[in-house]
């Protein structure tokens, strides 16, 4: 059974067939799905999905590109969502410097605020980082000093849709993070990510689609869904010189540990 660690089934792209598709991917071997919040509204939608489907969990958080209008009241609301047993992670949170807005100082402020929530509620974090390698690493390094005082025996979280170099990936692994690998690894021009996969131990990698985005080959450019995890797993098996079934088994175990399920 496959564990989908990162999807957005609340997205408008699924409005016409969401129920049908979710039931199909579950019946076809996707055991669990974590639907990840990217704003206050999508966090609400993610929680609603987790309450409707027994195989869906939710993450509560605000993506850096959605932080421009956040308030302290929003942070209080986010923290309260972790009273719900279906809400198992803080995310996706982080920094995104690809776009000029919101200002970097605003992104950093709310990233750090949400990290504080993660410490308070003792949940793993789902990190989004785009064109912001240095600042993300610096902030997470500081976060880990506080985290290790409290929960050093548990993984702090996952670097979602990892896009930097192999050495930084290994540095994150040494901190305790998992590396999220999605459809990009199947692209012909994804040499850097393939090198990351080869360098990072398989017991620190989790599978994700980021559905409806980043479909793997042979569906690149089309709407993504969790059934496509098998193509990502096949590429990992090739790169790691492992059997497909072993990739599925190990990454499932990793995801269960990442999200602290089955304890």
If residue 206 lies in a helix (H) or strand (E), which one and from where to where?
Answer: strand 205-207
Q: Which CATH class is domain 2-258?
A: alpha beta
Mean predicted lDDT score pLDDT of the chain: 97
Is the pLDDT at 173 greater than 70, yes or no?
A: yes
The pLDDT of residue 53 is 98
Is the pLDDT at 257 greater than 80, yes or no?
A: yes
Q: pLDDT category, 153, cuts 50, 70, 90?
A: confident
The pLDDT of residue 43 is 98
Is the pLDDT at 74 greater than 80, yes or no?
A: yes
Q: pLDDT category, 263, cuts 50, 70, 90?
A: low
Is the pLDDT at 198 greater than 70, yes or no?
A: yes
Judged by DSSP in three states, 165 sits in coil
**Contact, 22 vs 34, CB < 8 A?**
no
Q: List strands edge to edge, sheet with 157-159.
A: 2-7, 30-36, 56-60, 87-96, 125-130, 157-159, 178-181, 205-207
- pLDDT tens per residue, range 16-27: 999 999 999 999
pTM of the model: 0.97
**Contact, 43 vs 72, CB < 8 A?**
no
d(CA 64, CA 77): 17
The pLDDT of residue 112 is 98
The rounded percent of the chain whose pLDDT value lies above 70 is 99
The pLDDT of residue 61 is 98
The pLDDT of residue 100 is 87
Domain spans in the chain, listed from the N-terminal domain onward? 2-258
């Amino acid at each position: 059974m496959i564990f989908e660690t990162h999807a957005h089934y609340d997205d408008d792209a699924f409005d016409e067939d969401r129920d049908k598709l979710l039931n199909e991917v579950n019946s076809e071997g996707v055991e669990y799905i974590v639907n990840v919040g990217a704003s206050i509204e999508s966090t609400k939608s993610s929680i609603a999905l987790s309450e409707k489907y027994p195989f869906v969990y939710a993450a509560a958080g605000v993506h850096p590109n959605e932080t421009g209008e956040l308030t302290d009241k929003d942070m209080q609301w986010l923290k309260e969502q972790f009273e719900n047993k279906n809400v198992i992670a803080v995310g996706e949170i982080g920094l995104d410097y690809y776009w000029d807005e919101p200002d970097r100082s605003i992104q950093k402020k709310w990233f750090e605020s949400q990290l504080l929530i993660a410490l308070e509620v003792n949940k793993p974090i789902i990190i989004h980082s785009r064109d912001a390698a240095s600042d993300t690493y610096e902030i997470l390094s500081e976060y880990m000093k506080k985290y290790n005082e409290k929960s050093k025996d548990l993984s702090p979280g996952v670097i979602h849709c990892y896009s930097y170099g192999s050495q930084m990936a290994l540095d994150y692994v040494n901190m305790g993070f998992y590396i999220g690998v999605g459809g990009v690894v199947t692209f012909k021009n994804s040499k850097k990510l393939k090198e990351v996969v080869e360098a990072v131990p398989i017991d620190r990698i989790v599978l994700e689609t980021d559905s409806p985005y980043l479909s793997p080959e042979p569906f690149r450019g089309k709407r993504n869904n969790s059934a496509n995890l098998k193509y990502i797993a096949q590429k990992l098996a090739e790169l790691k010189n492992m059997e497909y079934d072993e990739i599925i088994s190990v990454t499932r175990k990793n995801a269960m540990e990442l999200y602290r399920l089955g304890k």
